[in-house]
Amino acid sequence: TWTPAAFVETTVAELKAKIGDEKVILGLSGGVDSSVAAVLLNKAIGDNLHCIFVNNGLLRKNEFEDVLHQYKDMGLNVKGVDASARFLDALEGESDPEKKRKIIGRVFIEVFDDEAHKVENAKWLAQGTIYPDVIESVSATGGPSATIKSHHNVGGLPDFMKLKVVEPLKMLFKDEVRRVGKSMGLEPNLLGRHPFPGPGLAIRILGDITREKVAILQEVDHIFIQGLKEWGLYDQVWQAGAMLLPVNSVGVMGDERTYEKCVALRAVESTDGMTADWVNLPYAFLQKTSNDIINKVPGVNRVVYDISSKPPATIEWE
């Protein structure tokens, strides 16, 4: 029978034998898979694991600092790279969803490659690939799902890097990854995190991206996610977030007319992201969240809740 403890023991031994005293590079995303992969490798090879955590300027509010801190506390050899300006400059003026994804994918590889080259004599690239990713990329070669959205995940291997690849979680499902992480003592807040797309808030800001829009959406998202946590709803939801719409609408504040932005909140139930249903969040929660957002975030005067299922809608709006 499969147990997390036995998996950890066998895998650590295998990794030691395979890698020896060579150096390994791993891109951390803040997500469950890359974090668990990093802790496993750290157990096997210690500081010969060089983790790179890139801030693309499109993460949630405080995410980069908080998660980097948490990784350091876990004893990982991690370097935080703030490349926000590089990403945001490259995205300037672009409003096409697929082009935004491509730009982010390209800049990520450039930044990651720059950093990887600073680690002398690295021989391996580690990735947090899990079993469903393997299946998805196989079906993606022929299936229609491949063409819907191009995904860019942390750790995509550029051909010119010529590193050997190590993927310790390749045979595991998500729940097994969580159990492995738990058995190695990873914090529940890391293991229970909602999925978050690689291109981050860029695909939740419809239309072109500006620093100001990113800042507005970070505030809105923060109020929503903190609210879900405070109301004990976070763990009942598979994924949640906010979208900044390219729409202004008329409102009133005091006796002044306003003409400001609209945000859509989305919370879904799902098991694998392939299909999803919107969550029937309590009206009282939605009411409080909407009031908080409109009162606290300048520039937003309207909040709507997305009640579309996947299919035919997707989880992200872009």
Per the annotation, where are the binding residues for ATP?
29-35
101 touches 150 (CB < 8 A): yes
Does residue 316 interact with ligand XMP by CB under 6 A? yes
We find the least distance from the C-beta atom of residue 308 to ligand XMP, in angstroms, to be 11
Does residue 174 interact with ligand XMP by CB under 6 A? no
HSE-CB for 38 with a 13 A CA cutoff: 28
Does residue 80 interact with ligand XMP by CB under 6 A? no
Does residue 152 interact with ligand XMP by CB under 6 A? yes
Cross-sheet strand order for the sheet of 23-28 = 78-82, 49-55, 23-28, 122-126, 164-166
Does residue 128 interact with ligand XMP by CB under 6 A? no
Name residue 223's amino acid: I
Does residue 132 interact with ligand XMP by CB under 6 A? no
Does residue 302 interact with ligand XMP by CB under 6 A? no
Among 55, 56, 129, 153, binds ligand XMP (CB under 6 A): 153
Does residue 315 interact with ligand XMP by CB under 6 A? yes
51 touches 77 (CB < 8 A): yes
Using the rule CB under 6 A, give the single segment among 116-124, 170-178, 226-234, 310-318 that binds ligand XMP.
310-318
Does residue 137 interact with ligand XMP by CB under 6 A? no
Does residue 314 interact with ligand XMP by CB under 6 A? yes
Which residue lies nearer to ligand XMP by CB, 181 or 198? 198
Among 102, 273, 292, 304, binds ligand XMP (CB under 6 A): 273
Does residue 269 interact with ligand XMP by CB under 6 A? no
What is the spatial distance between Cα 298 and Cα 288, in angstroms, rounded to a whole number? 17
Using the rule CB under 6 A, give the single segment among 62-70, 113-121, 144-152, 227-235 that binds ligand XMP.
144-152
Which residue lies nearer to ligand XMP by CB, 23 or 149? 149
106 touches 94 (CB < 8 A): no
We find the least distance from the C-beta atom of residue 242 to ligand XMP, in angstroms, to be 13
Among 43, 151, 182, 288, binds ligand XMP (CB under 6 A): 151
Which residue lies nearer to ligand XMP by CB, 38 or 45? 38
Name residue 40's amino acid: L
DSSP 3-state of 23: strand
Does residue 4 interact with ligand XMP by CB under 6 A? no
314 touches 277 (CB < 8 A): no
Does residue 129 interact with ligand XMP by CB under 6 A? no
Taking CB under 6 A as the criterion, which residues in 179-198 touch ligand XMP? 195, 197-198
Token couple for 143: 């299936």
Q: How far is CA 276 from the centre of its chain?
A: 18
Token couple for 302: 């309207």
What is the spatial distance between Cα 235 and Cα 35, in angstroms, rounded to a whole number? 19
Q: What is the 3-state secondary structure (H, E, C) of 166-235?
A: ECCCCCCCHHHHHHHHHHCCCCHHHHCCCCCCCCHHHHCECCCCCHHHHHHHHHHHHHHHHHHHHCCCHH
Binding site for ligand XMP (CB under 6 A): 101, 149, 151-153, 195, 197-199, 239, 273, 310, 314-316
